[in-house]
Structure 1
């Protein structure tokens, strides 16, 4: 071993501590050999000795080390390295400390998409920052960068967005917002808010009174909903019948109202109509029905010309106990039947002191008793061949 004048052994390797400064989330290359002393020469080589607790290091070449701090870390970090010379037969080595100052820098927040649900006609306050990440613990400023299509959105404070859907709208709406570090407008992130608006019932259905007029003996289907309406455009359905006079039979089946005009009457009943939304709203209306006298002909011409050769009355099937009688002007019974489908050809079907076969032309008088015990229908029939 040779000694220098300063008392340092010739061939000795002296590693001197290093320092470095790097920004948060940056990187730095440190030439750790630049200040080390290689007494006596020889090729110097570097190796890592201990690793930094708050970053990573990589040996790039014989004298350079790359340091990268952990994401979002700032503060002091350290590691050590060994440096050796090429002294023979045994290289001289030494260890030194590297101190890295990681300077804090503003970090962009991370914004995550949000969802919100409300009923049509309501409004909602959405804390869009609730699931966002603020690395620097600074105040984040929220701003709307894409407005909703079917509603309005306004910022309240720094955190919240108040959303109000358009009147009557239901379905899906959306908006986009940005969150930025206060004072560092370049450090921002954006996210979307999906807003689901549930349909609700705004309006009651409006049931309007109905008036009908029918001939006796028919069963009629009543379209009572034809003049009803619903402000929401909901489907309407008859759900219940309520008795009024209800002289004749009224039926409700699968929302269809049918009326059996079996008796002459001024009749009435009520129906309940409901919409299809939630909550269900209903309304009630009155139905008035006038059952007219049966359409009874006052003449026919049984001359076999194919036109009005037979006399009949429609609608008698509704009156199983009816009786139809025809009398001459002298009060003689000339024809009688209780067949609802009778076809009278102008002949008598009675026995006794009457001419058989075809009755003579002239005026005859009928009595139609639809139901025993009720007032009969009466009138005249002219036979003209």
Structure 2
């Protein structure tokens, strides 16, 4: 419940509730004095009704149904209508129903009536919705086996609603389809004719429906096809035994439904129709429609009219030759393609046969027949409307021909009458049809009068054949063969002018007969004769070949001419003459010539960029021809050798120093060195700048390039310029002077020194370098062992110049080395330097020390003179356990003895020497182990003098 605020309330029953309900409200004044007010509400369930009726027809409907629900007691209809319809009147009947009657018998549409329905508490209005319909039956007709569409609802009214088709019931003589747009499609059963009925319900939007009956008439009406020739009327019946009525007898309506587009139709009193073409020249198709009726309905009947244009044909063929004739090519059958129907007359003198698959006919004349024949065929359209067509055929007879034989002389035309001996059996005209083949050696002209003119090819002789066609009436042709003999005659030769090109002072051979001709092939090369000699040269003829050799005069350049004659060998003999033009070009114009005689052709000189007129301007590698004598006698590079000799020697005539070593080829020839070998030269004769290749080379393989050797002043051809045995390269590495034989590192000697170096004494020690090498001393150090005695003096003394303790102290002339000063040669515990300072002998272990009564001499002379022949050590016998060992300068033991008793005579007892070998003069070194602790080991040297 809702208080509306204006003294009213709105009551809304619960959804689905019917029955009684009570509401208590308080009603108050301005002083808020209030009293209760009870409201009793009855909720009834009253359903409205919908009813329909046809126009002008009353309809009665109950208004209380089982769906209406009272609140108290039984529902009743109030006897007073609350509101009548706008287009009809309602009456409440005693049984509680209501009858509605439309006011206007033609009214269709919707109307509304309201009555009250009451129970024990209250009344409620009940609305009756009335639809007054206008549903009309339909009729339709169709032909056998032909569907028809019927518009069912177009004449129906369903109040303001759009009528729609509901259900469909038919009698079973066809099928019905609801098209969904107010129409139906009726399709009669196959072969059915007669009447059929369909009942259709037509409904409004509220599904109020009314029945609509559709009456269908199915007739069997067959269309007609008829043909006529152009400009000709045609009459045709339209009702035939094949037409079937539904009711009664079929009749033709007297009114034409539709006339033709190209003609006019009239319905005759006997039921036929006459069609007349409007245009007498019209051919094609036209259509007329009339109505055929029975007792129920009328159906259209269509008459298809074909106006034809059929033309006869003519054909011509040869005797015995079939001909194909296009029969329908000039015929018209309306819009249809005309076809051959049948052959009515195949011909009296031949046979006409229709060709399958097309519109032609083949006529074959009987053997031997010629003349005229006739064939008749029918020409039909697509619906088998046919017209006769006549074909006239003329057969032409074969001509009778005879071959021809003719002759003529060489180069002489001849006229040949071809048809004079030919004829036509049927009296036709004989003519030449054309040339079929030939001639092979001439030409033919048709003179138009039955003859031809044959012209043999120039100078041809022999047989020729021509085949022409000879025709009867230009149709039937037979080949005619003509044999022609061309008799030979002698033809003169034709001498054709010649041209030739040569270069100055260069002969040229001209084959003058190569382009001369004689159609008989009888040219005689031996007959060539010079008629006019050239002005600027000489010409000779080869008596066998006829070739002319032309030699230009020396220095001539330009054009020269000569004339000659040539003859044939025929009878009689014919001759001809002509001119030869010779162009003599400058030598330089000849790319293959060598104008300057240097052996390089002009084109190569141009490619190389050298001067083809300068014999000394050339690239040697481009010499491909033999140079001339003048070039051979030149000296292009001014090296003192002529070009020819350089070629012989293999040197470059364009390069004065072929091998690039700085010595001219001429000087190398004088020196006897190889001018092609850059390392074969006399250095002192270098007058040209050597090539970079030579400068970068190392001719003597000493590790120094030639260029560096020149700078250093060494000999590039001598690996050891100063002859000291050390290569110039090693001296450069060592920092010694490669030009000073005494400036070297001895240990770097890898070459054999020169004799000069061997004989020299670089250190002025009294021994030559060679001796020092043999002795193992240093040629650059006068005191190799540093003992203060010159190496040479030591050699003289017989001491070892490599042993600082092998010396004659009295011969010390140099300052000893520090190593010697610090040493102790005699092993007496006193350095050599101290002994020198003290005045004692640094090589005598017993000086200044005393060795008892033992004295070791420094020399003896085992020379067999009986004096000093053995080495006598005084006092040695006091040391019987002594051990003596003697060494040579190389440290090898040459003598050894245990308990030495003064018996050594200078003979070796070592394995290194053959037993009994006599030791040579020289210094030797001893070690005496006395085996006495006080004396110990004594060391020193002894000199053997032989």
- Same fold judged by TM-score > 0.5? no
TM-score (norm 2): 0.18
| Higher Cα Rg, which structure | 2
Higher RCO by CA contacts (8 Å cutoff, separation 6 or greater): 1
TM-score (norm 1): 0.41
